[in-house]
Amino acid sequence: MKQLILITITAIVGTFSVNAQKLNIEESTYEGITSKVIEWRRAIHQNPELSYQEYETAEMIAAHLESLGIEVQTGVAKTGVVGILKGKKDGKVLALRADIDALPVVERNNLSFKSTKKTTYLGEEVGIMHACGHDTHAAILMGVAEILAKNKNKIKGTVKFIFQPAEEGAPEGEYGGARTMVNEGVLQNPDVDAIVGLHINSQTPVGVVRYKPEGTMAAAQRFVINVKGKQTHGSQPWSGVDPIYISAKIIDGLQSIVSRELNLTQEAAVISVGKIKSGVRFNIIPEDAELIGTIRTLDYDMREQVRERMTKMVKTVAEAYGGQAEIDIFDTTDITYNDPELTASLIPTLNNVLGEENVILSKAVTGAEDFSYFQSEVPGFYFFLGGMSKNSTEAYPHHTPDFFIDESGLIFGVKSMTEITLNYLNAR
């Protein structure tokens, strides 16, 4: 998941186990699988793999599903795994999705199962870390699969387990995991009626979930700007054209699009430059520069407005300072859109699992998720699961070296996904 920050943190009131109605699965069953889910999570966390490189993770997941008697498909979108579990009676088809890839981040903590893996990414040696919680998502869905497989007699219909690679973004020139899976027909054979996904959140307390009907996460785009100047000696800038200086002016101008041109009372928007590459030596003004960044929008008209203004501004700013520049913008995700009817039908289940006071209606966030590509095809519901320790004084954001998840929150994900599945499929 691209960086997610939930601003308001609500304290947990009362106990987590307040249930208005009896659960479909006995509490003892959930308690019995908790240690397994944590064990799976730690194994995946200690052996993270980047997008479209999740071979060991996929093998572990596939072996687990096969051991449960679930029909398994591997190699979906390169490294994805799909499991199909048919209930005792015919009915609807519900898909449950978990992403499985990690990030090029060096882990910085004292966990006994911390990652020490390294790899080469974009030509640089980097660490690999599950700095966004996809290890927890995979482990949670593995737990859901085990419980449902052992309770097939309670299922009316079919459950499709989707373990998706490359949520964090595909290599240049390729589509991300969800989009590739959709293109390969993952929502067909059998045809999916609805899809549900969750995301752990390090800044939401354990035992709390957050959701929003309709637009809940932003559309994301990646941009690459190439600036062309004229190389010269650092002591004689007048003899050349400085692409670093032009880059600074471009960055400054891009921020004015958000602060001065977009109607931010309508929806939020963000333009961020995440990487600048230029030059080789302190006393040489280089010939070119490259800027890479992201655009986040929660409204499709605003997305087009930003695209048009950036395209024009980049070129004209560079020309104003004697250089040239080109920009390429690539769509990464659509808006993550929770179907209102489906959302309304599933919230009572979350209330029952967690207690109504712990199911929080939230505002949209500018993080992005390629789960949106599934939702573009079938009704979907996506919610955030608390992973912050109850007594925590500091919660580190996603995509950072200090990212931390309290594992006691994982069982609430298992309960929520399992109960949602049974209530959705068995509803009359």
Please tell me whether residue 228 adopts helix, strand or coil conformation.
Answer: strand
The CA radius of gyration of the chain, in Å to the nearest whole number, is: 23
Mean pLDDT computed over 96-119: 97
Sign of the CA dihedral 386, 22, 343, 331?
positive
pLDDT at 282: 97
The pTM score is 0.86
Mean pLDDT computed over 102-118: 96
Task: Spell out the domains of the chain, with CATH numbers in brackets.
Answer: 27-216+335-426 (3.40.630.10), 230-322 (3.30.70.360)
**Interval 81-100: pLDDT, tens:** 999 999 999 999 999 999 99
pLDDT at 390: 86
Given phi > 0 = left and psi -120 to 50 = alpha, else beta, which region is 355?
left
* Active site annotation includes 167: yes
Convert 195-224 to b/e letters by CB count within 10 Å (16 or more is b). Answer: bbbbbbbbbbbbbbbbbbbebbbbbbbbbe
Mean pLDDT computed over 280-305: 96
Q: Catalytic one among 49, 101, 242, 407?
A: 101
Q: Residue 377: pLDDT band by 50, 70, 90 thresholds?
A: very high
* Contact assessment for residue 244 and residue 287, using Cβ atoms and an 8 Å cutoff: no
Q: Do you find a cis peptide bond into 165, omega within 30 degrees of 0?
A: no
pLDDT at 16: 39
Q: Is the pLDDT of residue 3 over 70?
A: no
Query: What's the CA gap between 230 and 272, in Å, rounded?
Result: 26
**Interval 328-361: pLDDT, tens:** 999 889 999 999 999 999 999 999 999 999 999 9
Q: Is the pLDDT of residue 184 over 80?
A: yes
Please, where are the H alpha helices in 283-398? 300-320, 340-354, 372-375
Q: Residue 20: pLDDT band by 50, 70, 90 thresholds?
A: low
Mean pLDDT computed over 96-109: 97
pLDDT at 172: 74
Residue showing tokens 């994301």: 220
Q: Is the pLDDT of residue 215 over 90?
A: yes
Q: Smallest Cα–Cα separation from 353: which of 207, 169, 186, 179?
A: 207
Q: Catalytic one among 135, 167, 299, 407?
A: 167
Q: Is the pLDDT of residue 1 over 60?
A: no
- What tokens were used for 207? 């035992």
Sign of the CA dihedral 243, 244, 246, 247?
positive
**Interval 220-244: pLDDT, tens:** 999 999 999 999 999 999 999 999 9
Query: What's the CA gap between 357 and 206, in Å, rounded?
Result: 13
The two beta strands, 284-285 and 232-233, are antiparallel
Mean pLDDT computed over 205-213: 97
Find the range with the poorest average confidence among 10-24, 120-134, 138-152, 234-248.
10-24
- What tokens were used for 53? 């490189």
